[in-house]
Amino acid sequence: MKKRGKINQCELIIEAVEQLSKNTKKTKITLEKGENSERLNQAINNLKQKIKTSEEKIKKEVEHQTSTFLNISSHELRTPLTPMSAQLQMLLSGYFGKLSEKQEKSIEIILRNTKKLDKLIKDVLDISRLRAESMQVTFKKGKLNELIKTIINEKKTYAKEKKVRIIINLNKKIPDIVFDQGKLGQVITDVLDNAIKFTPEKGKVTISSTKKGTKQIITIQDTGIGIEKKDYQLIFEPFKQVNSEKNRNFEGTGLGLAIAKGIMKIHKGEIKIISTIDKGTTVQIILPNKLKETQQIDPLAR
Amino acid sequence: MEAKKIMVVDDNKDIVTTVKTLLESKGYTVNTANNGEQFLQLIGEVQPRLVLLDVMMPGLTTREILQKLKDEGYEKTKIILVTVIRFSKEEVEAIMKEFNVVDYITKPFDITDLNARVRQHTAGSN
């Protein structure tokens, strides 16, 4: 009898350790009742809890360090661009004397590329944050239509320059939902920017917002050059741009949509594309309505 | 008429020189500092009507600097935050409510934009 008791205890310990090493979501282990099984049960569960706490602590620490590194990198990389850009603008505006036409053209090229570099740095940092899963978001309840209207306003001049008409069709019945104003704004701006960019003169871009069940959908439809079905997934990849005759003259960092996809994922939403070559492209930005608000981080405490 | 006094605070010396050149050519008197401590030491002597304050500097955080200004009775000095970070509308509104921050400009900036905002916030007599 005693011998049997001892074997049972060994088996008990083995089973407990096996359960502990399995990566299951269960936080409690239950062993068969027997001699000392209560104590073992307790000990193993304590150990499991300690491991979980430790893992969470490490994860948070890594996230924090990555985030700090990326914030500092952002600041450091963009700091030299500030005096570069300002001095070039001052040169062009005659602060240091009149320029010849050739000098002007030269400085314009440099200034244009300074702006490109700035956008590129910003985009690369965004992608890095998304990849490291350390993009900070502030989820707050807000009015989607207000955000859309603000962005349309910002893009009015660009659309006018390109002779593209913007048509607005926002559903007033859309409820206030929770989202990150800055990040979602970035997505909508980027999609709208693309729509205007790839639509020829006299074309139109239609922006609408609707509610469908538990989802809010922002649709941006253009009458532009379109995207081939085989390229639908490609355009969401970092630095990949469609390699076609039509696309050759259009510039961009090649990261906008990759970032948009990442931001929508954080919002537990999606971004979808349907397109027809030479007829146009329709982009749908889909948001759920059940996100929870998060605490705001103090932006001045850096 | 006495020139309007502005302080430019940034840890990057080239940014400070550039903004100083820009604003002096528009007739302002510009004093500079490279960090929070230096700025707080000089403000009593300079008494600027407007400060262009960089947000991410080593040493005191922006919040600490703004709080110290408030504590030492400089609530009337107008501040324009100059920053690489893009603040959200709510963040800006909250900051403006708490301190005498009247505006913010993102870096790299447009010089016409900077000039316009400085002109706007130094309008009127002291």
**Alpha-carbon torsion angle A259, A262, A264, A268, nearest 10:** -170
Tell me the chain B residues in contact with residue A301 when contact means C-beta distances shorter than 8 Å.
Answer: 61-63
Tell me the chain B residues in contact with residue A85 when contact means C-beta distances shorter than 8 Å.
Answer: 108-109
Give the residue from chain A lying closest to B53, CA to CA.
A300
pLDDT along chain A (302 residues), means of 10: 57 77 63 69 83 91 86 85 97 96 97 93 89 84 93 94 94 91 93 92 95 94 89 83 64 85 94 91 93 76 58
Query: Could you report the per-residue pLDDT of B95-122, keeping only the tens digit for each?
Result: 888 888 999 899 999 999 999 999 999 9
| Torsion angles phi and psi, residue A243, rounded to 5 | -100, 85
pTM: 0.77
Identify the burial level of A39 via C-beta atoms within 10 angstroms of its C-beta, where 0-12 means exposed, 13-18 middle and 19 or more buried.
exposed
0.85 surpassed by complex ipTM: yes
Give the residue from chain A lying closest to B58, CA to CA.
A302
Whether the pLDDT of residue B59 is over 70: the answer is yes
Q: Which long-range contacts (CB under 8 A, 24 or more apart) does A46-50 make?
A: A47/A20, A48/A20
Q: B88 CB near a chain A CB, below 8 Å?
A: yes
Tell me the chain A residues in contact with residue B62 when contact means C-beta distances shorter than 8 Å.
Answer: 300-302
Name the residue among A215, A221, A149 with its Cα closest to residue A181: A149
